[in-house]
Amino acid sequence: MTRLRDALNGLAEEAPPANLAGLADLAVVGYRRRRRSTATLAAVATIAVLAGVTATVLMAGPRRTPAAAPQEAPVPVLPAGKVGTLSHAYLETCLPPKGKDPLPDCVPDEWRVVTSAGKTYRVPQALGTTARNHRVPVAVSRDGRMFAYYDKDAEAHVVRDMVTGVETVSAAKVKEERLGVGSMLVVSDDGRHLAFDPREGTKDPGLLIDVRTGGTVPVPGVYEPVAIKDGVAELVRYRRTDLLFMPVTGGGRPVRFDGVFIMFSELAPDGRTVVAFEFPPGKKTQPEYVTRRLTVLDTRTGRTLRKVSVKGLPKRAGIDDATIWQSPSEVTLAVGVGPDTRAYAVDVRTGRARPVAKYPGRSRGQLVLPGAAGGL
Amino acid sequence: MDAHDGFREFVIARQQALMRTAYLLVGDPHLAEDLLQSVLVKVVRHWHKLAREGNPEAYTRKALVNQYISWRRRPDPELPSADPPERAVTYDDDALDRIVLRQALGKLTRKQRAVIVLRFWEDLTEAQTADVLGCAVGTVKSQTHHALARLRELAPDLMDSRIAQEAAR
């Protein structure tokens, strides 16, 4: 426990003793009073409207009745069998409505998947949050075919092939209590391997899981998963910054970069470079995801190959993440624009960005994009 | 059974935890009660649905933080009457830390303060914090960075290397 956390705990202990039973009653009474007033007003308004409508009909004759406001159809549960590849997954957080808006028809902290065809499904079998209210990650493979999630009843991860509908329950058991703050998950393109970090930013060791055999390879706790590609897990150790390319069978040597970098992409198709954003220590210099300048790094030498200013993003946009490569020269950036997230393919030679996907009303924190570590 | 008994039970069971969050956000016991009361009035409006399908505590926490941030017309209640004592005259480092932290939190913006409470007291991840605040993860990263930088100026002793490491993520 750090000193800041200790001090916050101490300060929280100074909160006045809550005795809100009476307050709860007041809230209920106030709610009922408002409901009655609203109902009375609604009745008066209805009578007035009916009178008005009757008068209008009598004066103007029959007219077409206005169409009823469209109602959102309830989101179906993910059916067994084939549903097609996924565009993304998201956690339905069911945010409180603003003002007097009605409560949205949703279950908070439930995972949903969206297919490439645009169909949305609820996935209630994928645990959204643990009993301790820690978010449980899911993952979508780079091509959107594999969907990995944690099943509470099986106490294990499950990988579902969305094209064939085949589900594989991992033989490697993971207790729910192991899923801590900022747990992370990545799934390989063939759905066979998972990289799992039980708690972001701690030395609690992670696991590379072979879903078919149940075999596991421990990952040093200082590393966090970024991606799995071609049988190699990309793992990052922040602060130094080191990147470790660890074969799914274990081993691998880390490379150290000169400087502090965050938001790493997967390994480029050239098998050598990655994109990240420099996070200069100290308070004077802004992080480069704010100044919109990406860095292309050589994973063999640790050297910075070049820095490129990203052009063509909306004015209000904030860069959230770098993920998979769209082509040998274009990397995907997840960008927050107001309440939405958008994906842009950015040319790492020119910095030119072109939009490739939109996720309206979804913050990056809710979204799991193909190939990116779920739980970001 | 009264349809709102569940709401009363929820309030009684979770009142102290919610009060602590409210107190850390506003730094004043009376305002903390006001904040919590105004949020509970909103919660009871949707209680049937929340109880049936939802996670009322997460909903209440989100509403609490958002209400605090949008409470713009409220005067700043924290008017420290004196500087914290010199280290040499106290034997209780924890008490001194609390005094220093209270003063420092009072000098942060509302969003920065909310980020500190959510990340380092509620122990939420950046993604969860972004959800609660309804903003991008990048915004949480930069808010945390700026909030910790400010705290480092105001209360350097409270900031150790592990916190700095988390800020660099």
Residues of chain B with C-beta less than 8 angstroms from the C-beta of A17: 16, 19
A357 token code pair: 């996907």
Length of chain A: 376
Give the nearest partner residue to B169 out of A6, A238, A289, using CB atoms.
A238
**In angstroms, what separates the C-alpha of B9 from chain A's closest C-alpha?**
8
Give the nearest partner residue to B101 out of A11, A31, A106, using CB atoms.
A11
CB contact under 8 A, A262 and B168: yes
What pLDDT is attached to residue A375?
A: 56
Q: Which residue has the higher pLDDT, A31 or B57?
A: B57
Q: Which residue has the higher pLDDT, A343 or A73?
A: A343
Q: Model pTM greater than 0.90?
A: no
ipTM: 0.80
C-beta neighbour count of A112 within 10 angstroms: 22
* pLDDT, tens digit (0-9, with 9 covering 90-100), for B137-157: 888 888 888 888 888 888 887
**In angstroms, what separates the C-alpha of B143 from chain A's closest C-alpha?**
12
Confidence at A72, pLDDT banded by 50, 70, 90 = low
In this predicted structure, the answer to whether residue A66 has a pLDDT above a threshold of 60 is no
3 state DSSP class of A258: coil
Closest to A266 in 3D by CA, of A295, A227, A307, A305: A227
Q: How far apart are CA B12 and CA A22, in angstroms?
A: 10
Kindly state whether A159 is in contact with chain B, defined as any CB-CB distance less than 8 angstroms: no
Q: How far apart are CA B143 and CA A139, in angstroms?
A: 27
Q: How far apart are CA B144 and CA B80, in angstroms?
A: 24
As a whole-number percent, the residues of chain A with pLDDT over 70 amount to: 79
Give the nearest partner residue to B32 out of A16, A23, A239, using CB atoms.
A16
3 state DSSP class of A234: strand
B74 token code pair: 């409220």
Closest to B103 in 3D by CA, of B123, B122, B81, B135: B81
- Measure Cα distances from A101 to A29, A95, A237, B112 in Å: 21, 11, 44, 28
Q: Which of A298-302, B7-11, B79-83, B90-94 is modeled with the greatest confidence?
A: A298-302
Q: Which of residues 281-320 of A touch B (CB under 8 A)?
A: 281, 283, 287, 289-290, 318-320
What pLDDT is attached to residue A282?
A: 67
- Residue B87 class from Cβ within 10 Å (0-12 exposed, 13-18 middle, 19+ buried)? exposed
* pLDDT, tens digit (0-9, with 9 covering 90-100), for B2-36: 556 778 888 888 888 888 999 999 888 888 888 88
